[in-house]
Amino acid sequence: MVTNDPARSRQNLIVTGPVDQVVTISPSRVVLRGEAGSDIRVQTTIVPEKRFPFKVVSISAGNGGNIRYDLSERQDGSGGYLLAVENIKTSPGRYHDTIQLTTDSQIKPKITIAVYGHILGRGQKSN
């Protein structure tokens, strides 16, 4: 904290308190790793905490040029969503993207999920 007191212009301020989790995302980020031309997909579950229910109203990608994605409601009765992300990059290389979920929640109106791609050439070993 910064003050106008010349003798003590800077003060350390400690804030403590509980942090409530609004949503569980598992895995929390999408990592698409594999050989170019192969089927590379990851499925992520998105589950609102019971105290903070929400519906996803839209989905978009930051760039979207290297991925295809689909969001569906979970059919097992446990609530939440399944996000399927697929690599569509056909050449070796790395990329980063994000998927943004817009919700009807006033507490968490936007959820961002990071997407990392590491596409290997045929026969290339992953580091």
The CATH number of the domain holding residue 32 is: 2.60.40.10
Instruction: Check residue 98 and give its pLDDT.
Output: 98
Tell me, yes or no, whether 46 lies in a domain.
yes
Is 71 among the domain residues?
Answer: yes
- pLDDT-derived band at 124 (thresholds 50, 70, 90) equals low
Please tell me which of 10-24, 67-81, 90-104 the model is most confident about, judged by mean pLDDT.
90-104
- Nearest Cα to Cα of residue 96 among 121, 114, 120, 71: 114
Domain count, the chain: 1
Q: Does residue 127 lie within any of the structural domains? A: no
Average pLDDT, the chain: 92
Residue 118, classified by CB atoms within 10 Å of its CB into exposed (0-12), middle (13-18) or buried (19+), is: middle
Position 61 in a domain: yes
Residue 3 counted as domain residue: no
Q: Is residue 10 part of a domain?
A: no
In the three-class reduction of DSSP (H, G, I as helix; E, B as strand; rest coil), residue 7 is classed as helix
34: left (phi over 0), alpha (psi -120 to 50) or beta: left
Tens digit of each residue's pLDDT (9 = 90 or more) over 2-25: 778 888 888 888 889 888 889 999
Beta strands in the chain (DSSP E): 23-26, 30-35, 41-48, 56-61, 67-73, 81-87, 93-103, 110-120
Domain coverage including residue 98: 25-120
Q: How many angstroms separate the CA atoms of 73 and 68, rounded?
A: 17
In a domain, 19, yes or no: no
Q: pLDDT at position 3, please?
A: 79
Q: 115 in a domain, yes or no?
A: yes
